[in-house]
Structure 1
Amino acid sequence: MPATRRTVIAGAALLPALMPAALRAAEGPGPLIRRPIPSSGETLPAIGIGTSRRYEVEPIPEMIAPLREAVERFVALGGSVIDTAPSYGTAEDVLGHILQGPLRERVFLASKVSESGREAGAAQIARSFERLRTDRIDLVAVHNLIDPGNNLATLRDLKAKGRIRYVGVTVWRDGQFDGLEPLMRAEPLDFIQVNYAIDNRAAAERVLPLAAERGMAVMVNVPFGRDRLFKAVQGRELPPFAAAFDCASWPQFFLKYVLANPAVTCPIPGMAKAAYVEDNLGAARGRLPDAAERAKMEAFIDAL
């Protein structure tokens, strides 16, 4: 059976010992770490929800119910950032159902545009507003650098009209960095979204320092390496040194590593269950690893 978060937790036989600590970490001590959006100074809780795959379900009550529970628990614990895209199947529709009512005002909602051509891009964004059942989206980013000239022009028009608050661009693999970096230098972007994980550190070499230099917030996708990391640690206990930075589970280990880079604003792991929300948010509480501890974390993972 392929290793996933579920099989790692079960296979390690550590659930009784680790999960209570992980759940306590989700609720305390102290508030969630927050990071600023450089272009405005607004701060965001430092862990968000990504909706690719896990929220691509049929938008009917029985399928939406566990996802609603996860989002409600996320917000109750202090989370706010939720990232989606029109290319994520039914995810925008599902979120539209979940975020009706007062919950919407407590969420920083991000989506994307992935069509080429000014008219096609504008039409896709208009459909996102409809599917999400909202008249304001906090962030819309150009997905995978698709037609940035036309799409950024449309997004800036919408920002000027108050329909969106922030503009950005996204990538999800290292091979896109050569296209991302010139765009970051040429455009005054509020956000970038980039792939970065403890076993995939290329973004830290040039992209993250450039974001800090240019004053751009950074969302991090695939911080678990699309389950690569869970497969690598299956059946293993956390190294003893993890306790020094308030780490109670493998998901927290991976997320704390990402968050310890000061250029990172908010990793957005997929979270489709309330228990995963509680565990992941624990990564944004307590102490983060320092440079020496990050080096130990890297060496530990690299040796697996």
Structure 2
Amino acid sequence: MPYRKLGRTGEKVSLIGLGGFHIGKQADEKESIEIIRTAIDNGVNFMDNCWDYNEGKSEVRMGKALQDGYRNKVFLMTKIDGRDRKTAAKQIDESLRRLKTDRIDLMQIHEVIRLSDVEKSFAPAGGLEALLAAKQAGKIRYIGFTGHKSPSIHLKMLETAAKHEFVFDAVQMPLNVMDAHYDSFEKNVLPVALKHNIGILGMKSMGSPYILESNTASPVECLHYAMSLPTSVVITGCDSLVILKQALKAAREFRPFTEQQVAALLSRTTEAALKGKYERYKTSDYFDGTHHHPEWLGPAREKSVL
């Protein structure tokens, strides 16, 4: 299993990370635990999760899987939705309990998909205060944020952090063969994050999984494209051992794409990518968990002035 450095943290993380959402989808909890432990036994040390995945089931299952000595073999990441300090602090503690651990390696502000998410996170008594307090208390080690909607919102988050003299340790974003053509995180956010030595977490390499429906790229090509970017880790959902083994094989056999290979793949995907048809997380609210469940964000409050 190849490993890369997670930005300014210096941590070594596996080239692929195990996506947490899919871990809560199996009918049999034992299958979920087997997928997690098989991934770890094969060198995957980056575990992705979130407070809201499958109503907490994903964290609960991962917590069980990380018993019996597995916890110390992984770099554990999860995310919270709370935008105010009180809600965020409560979700942090709930994640710790579900994951059966006293520390989370990377905690991220989840779904920064609106400008108001930026404002609330950095406002007095905002979510970032809870994360900083948890870090000081030893509950978390590093802080990051995620989002899938627009590069402009990611850039606003980074810009606002700089104004507050704060640097995120990691940032998670869609990085795939179609993002390169349409409202691109790769072109707009990646260079800024790298400039500040922020760890890059690539997600939605297959468009969850709509890119595959375009018949323009294979699953392995999608993974290898994301791996060929300066990503620290490419997070991929594995809802079965068969899919996990595909991801493991892709990581082990990975060789960075040449410029010619990249050009050929992007040429093949250009027409399908132009209107964002296969990147529904950018063009619709289908994937926006906090749109469907605004209560996850915490109590509504007046707009803050940065």
TM-score, length of structure 2 as denominator length: 0.77
Q: Any idea what SS the aligned residue of 1:55 has?
A: helix
CA-to-partner distance for each residue in 1:20-67, whole Å, 9 max, x for gaps? xxxxxxxxxxxx221112223221111001122x23348xxx611111
- Alignment match of 2:264 (pick from 273, 296, 299): 296
Residue aligning to 1:51: 20
CA-to-partner distance for each residue in 1:105-157, whole Å, 9 max, x for gaps? 11211111211321111011111111111111111011123432222222122
Q: Which runs of structure 2 are paired with 1:211-290 in the superposition (5 Å)?
A: 211-233=193-215, 250-262=218-230, 264-285=231-252, 286-290=254-258
How much is the aligned-residue C-alpha RMSD, in angstroms? 2.0
Residue aligning to 2:169: 190
Question: Do the aligned residues in 2 keep the contact of 1:220 with 1:268 (CA within 8 Å)?
Answer: yes
Question: Do the aligned residues in 1 keep the contact of 2:179 with 2:186 (CA within 8 Å)?
Answer: no
Residue aligning to 1:97: 64
Q: Which runs of structure 2 are paired with 1:96-115 in the superposition (5 Å)?
A: 96-115=63-82
Question: Do the aligned residues in 1 keep the contact of 2:24 with 2:32 (CA within 8 Å)?
Answer: no
Which letter maps to 2:4? R
Greater RCO structure (CA 8 Å; 6+ sep) = 1
Q: Any idea what SS the aligned residue of 2:47 has?
A: strand
Question: Do the aligned residues in 2 keep the contact of 1:171 with 1:180 (CA within 8 Å)?
Answer: no
Residue aligning to 1:169: 145
Q: Distance in 1 between matches of 2:8 and 2:133?
A: 17
Unaligned runs of 5+ in 2: 273-306
- Alignment match of 1:209 (pick from 191, 199, 204): 191
Q: Distance in 1 between matches of 2:235 and 2:3?
A: 14
Q: Distance in 1 between matches of 2:37 and 2:177?
A: 29
Structure 1 runs (4+) deviating above 3 angstroms are 175-181, 183-186
Which letter maps to 1:299? S
Question: Do the aligned residues in 2 keep the contact of 1:66 with 1:272 (CA within 8 Å)?
Answer: no
- Alignment match of 2:29 (pick from 47, 53, 64): 64
Question: Do the aligned residues in 1 keep the contact of 2:86 with 2:130 (CA within 8 Å)?
Answer: no
Give the total of aligned pairs: 254
Deviation at 1:281, TM superposition (A): 2.1
Residue aligning to 2:304: none
Deviation at 1:86, TM superposition (A): 1.0
Q: 1:221 to 1:155 in 2, by over 3 A?
A: same
Q: Any idea what SS the aligned residue of 1:101 has?
A: coil
Identity over aligned pairs, percent: 24
Residue aligning to 1:158: 134
